[in-house]
Chains A and B, each alone.
Chain A
């Protein structure tokens, strides 16, 4: 049964990857000519044609697609049009910087989101609760590009205390990581608050209090573990979108990660690089969902059984 469950998930995952790659492959090729984008616009057409032939763009779309899929299955994702190096190599070089930003932002999300949510639940109806929820709405509704520009305006232009762009030093990490962290912290705070409120009224919490346990111990040992399941689900989703989620923030802060590379590659129609990034992002999402599904099945075997029945 368990093997069946895993195989079903793996098959779905592979189909999702194929659909994502196919969609991007077609959309990119019908939305503009990469050769025209990369050469000066007064380049003679004969020279443009030579580039097109060299990159295999003179072939029919189905032929290009079949060749791409066949190569991809063998691990060859093509060569970057701009860089003339394997697209996978070009993309993987940027992964560490995106992970650094993503994990830093994620750490801020976890700390700020959990602390704010727990404080709001414990002080329900007070000024702290209202302030925490106002922060939550701010984080949830604020467009990330707007917050990014606001941060630059305040910390770089007005107070001149932090650099606005690049990734050369740790100082450069602060503004993009905080932006990314605050945007997601709002959602986490809201989930944490509602989960905590639900748990705080459970009978076992009254029992713990009746036993004379201190507030800190009651919250840490009893409330948080029981309230964690929905919060962990939200955090898991955020973790899954670590690579894809920083596109805008990386672009505004010129953070040299995958997000910035994706924006540049789309603008320059560097098709192999865009396809590789999309494949990588889709793979991350599929893997995260796969692991989350497996975890659910492990935590609650009823989910696994129910899904297996539905599949039949």
Chain B
């Protein structure tokens, strides 16, 4: 027994270096700036910004990379602003409907010391990296497949030409997959695929990456938009929400992400931390298979929409803080948004009447959802089953591992979410419910008039005309009812009160100097 103890002790001791090595610190002891610690549910497997477009990915890469044009989320007090401001681009101008010329900011440094030039920008959007059929970053085409060519006019001027007129090219350049990488570093480390940790120009640079454990960034003091306010930022993987909150309370973390609405009250009960919530540019939706005989009659689908009491769902599941939009349109669409549109109505009486007119005989309506993928998806589904039952619809809840592979003959209703990538219908309704989105690709809805209008929307630059087209598309979407929106969910962060930081309506965590400061005395 004694030998066993000694052997065990020796094995444990031999593992010591593994633990000790984790304590490496890349921050100079003379640096008095705070070290920010963020608890996250997961970290991405790479930090290539056009590859890691998930919640976990953009949360980190947003502070490592910059876009040419920046969407100023702080132009609205709720962190959902959509004003475009210069970033790596000093200015930009339209040559015509298909051409945009961008003037780059001079003397911007990458984390490896290289100076950013037009070559880096051209490479970032090149077919070799992003837009080609064989490009290693396969998701790039979903955002920049519209590009015909990107040319360097001189070292600080880049010209973008699209295949057809693209009124939202500026929005695209300020958004997903548009983060600029250093060409030299990228090609050196690509190794036939893409580099896992490319170099950017952002306020923080990578210091240490531990898969599934942590990502440590340190301040990049040559950042063009000012010296970062934190010496370092560490994203630590803590899968359990209870543990993330515990770490926040005990002082291990300054920010805890992915907090459920029912924890807000508990967090707010501590004196030195608080919950900060933001309504996401995202909507939880239901998709209907309009080809399924049981719900082929649009009056049945309209009745299903009218029977959902969204206000009750928001009150019961989201502490009243989720938002019910006015149809598939959002205020950040600006001039294209119709404030007066009635949108999503709760009218069970009318639902019953429509069912009667459609000759509905109580056919089963299968509602497929994943249990834990979308926050509150299951309780919402259970409540909707009861709401439908009250209106006379025979709903059946079907909990599945994936909603993507349900055979078309049994697919009726499935849960989905719609992220609004750009503050424009081209990044919302048209992108998601159009011919290239999941609904039509799955042949759940094949609308002719809607698609014609969408194509017209793509070609049109005039704002008033675009508004008219978009509102007609919404009319069709509401009338044909290929699905519905439930609500826009919340994202809640637990934050130390001494950390002055505003969350955005995307999962980006913007830690640039203008959005991250610390009170003098941190608790």
Which chain A residues have a beta carbon within 8 Å of chain B's beta carbons?
A: 31-33, 36-48, 50-51, 80, 82-84, 90, 93, 96-97, 99-100, 103-104, 106-107, 110, 149, 152-153, 156-157, 160, 163-170, 173, 224, 228, 251-254, 256, 260-261, 263-264
Contact = CB atoms under 8 A, between A and B. Distances in A.
A110 B4 CA distance: 10
B362 interface: no
B53 interface: yes
Given A41-B416, A51-B138, A170-B19, A263 B249 contact: no
Nearest to B14: A96
Contact of B402 (A32, A166, A168, A263): A32
B238 A100 contact: no
Nearest to A235: B4
A45 to B, nearest CB: 4
Contacts of A107: 5, 8-9, 12
B193 A36 contact: no
23 contacts: A33-B402, A42-B438, A47-B138, A47-B139, A83-B211, A84-B46, A84-B193, A97-B18, A107-B5, A149-B242, A152-B243, A153-B246, A157-B249, A163-B247, A164-B246, A165-B246, A166-B238, A251-B239, A254-B237, A254-B238, A256-B213, A256-B237, A260-B212
Nearest to B9: A107
A100 B18 contact: yes
A167 B19 contact: yes
Given A40-B53, A46-B441, A165-B247, 7 more contacts: A32-B402, A96-B15, A107-B8, A107-B9, A156-B247, A173-B19, A251-B240
Nearest to B44: A82
Contacts of B402: 32-33, 36-37
Nearest to A251: B239
B421 to A, nearest CB: 8
A82 B45 contact: yes
A100 B19 CA distance: 9
B1 interface: yes
B436 interface: yes
A165 B437 contact: no
Interface of A is mostly: helix
Given A32-B402, A47-B138, A253-B243, A163 B252 contact: yes
Nearest to A98: B15
B436 A44 contact: yes
A33 B42 CA distance: 19
Contacts of A51: 138
Interface residues of B, number: 58
B239 A254 contact: yes
Which of B15, B23, B141, B442 has the most A CB atoms < 10 Å from its CB?
Answer: B15
Interface of B is mostly: mixed
Contacts of A47: 138-139, 141-142
B212 A160 contact: no
A155 to B, nearest CB: 9
A40 to B, nearest CB: 5
A103 to B, nearest CB: 5
B37 to A, nearest CB: 10
Nearest to B403: A36
Contacts of A36: 402, 404-405
Closest 10 CB pairs of A and B: A32-B401, A82-B45, A45-B441, A256-B213, A32-B402, A100-B15, A254-B238, A164-B246, A156-B250, A36-B404
B236 interface: yes
A255 B218 CA distance: 23
A222 B437 CA distance: 76
A195 to B, nearest CB: 14
Given A39-B139, A166-B236, A254 B243 contact: yes
Contacts of A38: 54
Nearest to A250: B239
A82 B44 CA distance: 8
Contact of A165 (B42, B54, B243, B416): B243
Interface string B158-188: 0000000000000000000000000000000
A44 B15 contact: no
Given A47-B141, A254-B243, A167 B22 contact: yes
A42 B419 contact: yes
A63 B508 CA distance: 41
B238 A160 contact: no
B163 to A, nearest CB: 17
A256 B212 contact: yes
